[in-house]
Amino acid sequence: MSDDSNPRMHAGTGLEGVSIGPSEIALVDGENGRLIYRGHDAEVLVREHNFEEVAFLLWIGRLPSADETNVLRNVVFENMRHVSDDPAILAMLDPKALPMDAVRSAMSAWAMTRRMDEGGTPADAQAALGAIAGSVALLGARRAGVAPGEIKAGDTVARAYLRMMTGAEPTDAQVGALDAYLVLTAEHGMNASTFTGRVIVSTASDIGSGLVGAIGALKGKLHGGAPSHVSSMIDEIGTMDNAEPWLREKIEGGERLMGFGHRVYKTYDPRARALSEVAQRLGSDNERLALAHHVEQTALRLLHEYKPDRRLYTNVEYYAAAVLETIELDPGLYTPTFAVSRTAGWTAHMLEQITFPRLIRPQVEYVGPMPAA
């Protein structure tokens, strides 16, 4: 409890409704279903710009020139290649380990070799993107038992990532789909992992430490692990006829339907809308995609029936799963690939936090016992 002599803002469990301060990076408009990156609608950006251009926008505040895009790619590719040559990083990328554990450890090893100063710079952010992209791609190659593919002149980050991971030349459709996914998941306001990274950097730590903490937060199934759980749900349902009875059983049992509902969005997630279009282009005759669409429509109808007072709609994880399946990504690498995209947003927030030299230190309301009088 609080009174006039202790005028602290009281935050509910989960810090809902509490702002840690201003930011120029992104607007997550939950009421109207919009996602804005530095004044640009994400649904427009995904049609007109690739991932590295959007990463530059998040870091610098404007879209890059062609020369600046090429410089950025060179930095990213240099650090992707560095992963394969660094024994400390290679030792962490054990294909038998949990993928997010391996990536977290690899990024810790990379940060040690980078020797970043307090805070960080845009150059550190660019290098970090290359290091995590290279780490996840190499981990994917190791898990598949293939030799990692070589990065080529003229590659985009998405194409280099897929080739390094699979050892094969990706199709233009696969590259375009992955690039759309990376753009749409690059940034999303003060989510749990971004908050974690900003808290760490606010202590006058470095971007490397912030990344390791953010990866740890993203590992949880309530944050970054959802797309793989959506895939498992579709697997369990199996057929269109089974969708309604399966979903009714889960809802009546009080279980959460993965891919539906969002902490902020109270309407259809704009990222899901954009990725749904990508999925349709990739697999218009795909039986799996038809099943996913049927499950979505059935779930939305049943959620409205059972919970008419709740505003539960499709979120980004639902069609992220469809897109990542269609480009034949190892399900164990769904969340690590999310970490690659979100590194752009994480590091943008860390760089912004450096300009506010104030330790993030919320309070907690003690409700435990007091000493006996």
Q: Residues 271-304: pLDDT tens digits?
A: 888 888 888 777 655 788 889 889 999 999 999 9
Q: By residue range, what is the domain housing residue 310? A: 226-326
Residue-wise pLDDT tens digits, 111-168: 998 887 777 899 999 999 999 999 999 999 999 999 999 999 999 999 999 999 999 9
Regarding whether 203 and 248 lie in a shared domain, the answer is no
pLDDT of residue 26: 94
Regarding whether 96 and 217 lie in a shared domain, the answer is yes
Instruction: Please determine, for residue 270, whether its predicted confidence score (pLDDT) is greater than 90.
Output: no
Neighbours of 252 (CB within 10 A): 10
Regarding whether 207 and 87 lie in a shared domain, the answer is yes
179 lies in some domain? yes
- With pLDDT > 70 as the criterion, what percentage of the chain qualifies? 94
Confidence of residue 368 (pLDDT cuts 50, 70, 90): very high
18 lies in some domain? no
Regarding whether 248 and 188 lie in a shared domain, the answer is no
End-to-end CA distance of the chain: 20
110's enclosing H/E stretch is helix 99-114
Q: At what angle do helices 207-218 and 192-202 cross, to 10 degrees?
A: 150
- With pLDDT > 90 as the criterion, what percentage of the chain qualifies? 65
Regarding whether 262 and 211 lie in a shared domain, the answer is no
Residue 170's alpha-carbon distances to 123, 124, 129, 146, 352, in angstroms, are 29, 29, 21, 15, 35
Better-predicted residue by pLDDT, 90 or 269: 90
pLDDT of residue 309: 85
Q: What is the CATH number of the domain that holds 33?
A: 1.10.580.10
Regarding whether 149 and 95 lie in a shared domain, the answer is yes
143 lies in some domain? yes
Q: How many domains does the chain have?
A: 2
Better-predicted residue by pLDDT, 321 or 214: 214
Produce one character per residue of 51-61: b if its CB has 16 or more CB atoms within 10 Å, e if not.
bbbbbbbbbbe
pLDDT of residue 132: 98
pLDDT of residue 2: 35
Q: What is the CATH number of the domain that holds 230?
A: 1.10.230.10
CA nearest to 113, candidates 98, 128, 129, 134: 128
Residue tagged active-site, from 262, 325, 349, 352: 262
pLDDT of residue 265: 62
pLDDT of residue 226: 65
361 lies in some domain? no
Neighbours of 24 (CB within 10 A): 11
pLDDT of residue 12: 61
269 lies in some domain? yes
Is 68 a known active-site residue?
no
Confidence of residue 4 (pLDDT cuts 50, 70, 90): very low
Distance CA 87, CA 71 (A): 26
pLDDT of residue 280: 78
Regarding whether 287 and 204 lie in a shared domain, the answer is no
370 lies in some domain? no
pLDDT of residue 263: 67
Regarding whether 346 and 242 lie in a shared domain, the answer is no
| pLDDT (average), residues 49-56 | 98
Regarding whether 133 and 54 lie in a shared domain, the answer is yes
Regarding whether 74 and 208 lie in a shared domain, the answer is yes
Regarding whether 237 and 106 lie in a shared domain, the answer is no
Residue tagged active-site, from 43, 317, 325, 352: 317
316 lies in some domain? yes
pLDDT of residue 10: 53
Regarding whether 280 and 163 lie in a shared domain, the answer is no
pLDDT of residue 285: 55
215's enclosing H/E stretch is helix 207-218
Considering 326, 344, 367, which residue would you say is the last residue of a domain?
326
Is 223 a known active-site residue?
no
Instruction: Please determine, for residue 1, whether its predicted confidence score (pLDDT) is greater than 80.
Output: no
Specify the range with the lowest mean pLDDT, choosing from 8-22, 38-52, 333-347.
8-22
Q: What is the residue-averaged pLDDT of the chain?
A: 89
338 lies in some domain? yes
